[in-house]
Amino acid sequence: MLVELQKEKIPKVQLLDLGLIDYQEAWDFQTERHKELVARKLRNRDLKKAGLATEEQTHYLIFCEHPPVYTLGKTGSLDHLLLDEQGLAEKGFTFYKINRGGDITYHGPGQIVGYPIFDLDCFFTDVHKYVRYLEEAVMRTLAEYGIESYREEGYTGVWLPENSHSPKRKICAIGVHLSRWVTLHGFAFNVNTLLHHFDNIIPCGIQDDDKSVTSLAKELGQALDIKEVQNKLKQHFADLFHYTYSTVNN
């Protein structure tokens, strides 16, 4: 007797590039997408209980850049922001306390900020594996530029090893939030980032003398085409998470 095997459902992800966008506007946008995925998940549970066909879940991978902004995670310390309200205004920075994990970080032009809005029930329900995959996508992208990277024990994000010229350097920060296994927030990958903007904070709350921050441009000695880096990054995401994707003009 022949048994027809049910094909594994491959998740579908919509890629959106929001360009340079205000942090609050981007936060609102990803929050709406998050609510959309959670609502569809709950509807599907009810439909499944009723023996009815379920809706296909839609996932998003959002790329953007922000005007200079500092964000503080829910477990971070305000002491790690080295500017007061007046200092922020004078230098043209904004500041937000947000609901992701992690401490304080910087976002600005020349940085690839990525917000995966994934329903992990469609991939795997393992938050540690999820964070490792975010790191791995960046590490594989760096490898394409001949840059060696690694994970620093006890910290999230992507690091470059110390050498005769520099200490350990963080090139990508990660901070996420999950609700009902739907992801929010994501990563900040320094490509052509203005690194002196990190001088106004204690990045990620790390005060070790043997650690600093860097960018892909600094390591290679030249500015990069940020769209080229994005294209490499999005393919590594698709390979790791095993999804198909389409680009959406927002």
Q: Which residues are catalytic?
A: 204
DSSP string, 18-46: EEE--HHHHHHHHHHHHHHHHHHHHHHHH
Token duo for residue 98: 């947000």
Q: Beta strands 12-20 and 59-65: pairing type?
A: parallel
Pairwise CA distance, residues 231 & 13, whole Å = 15
Beta bridge partners of 14: 60, 246
Task: Yes or no: say if 12 and 245 are a contact pair by the CB < 8 Å rule.
Answer: yes
Task: Yes or no: say if 176 and 101 are a contact pair by the CB < 8 Å rule.
Answer: yes
Token duo for residue 34: 């998050």
The C-alpha angle with vertex 37 and arms to 241 and 41, in degrees rounded to 5, equals: 95
Is the Cα torsion angle 162, 226, 61, 68 positive or negative in sign? positive
Task: Return the C-alpha torsion angle 201, 202, 204, 208, nearest 10.
Answer: 160
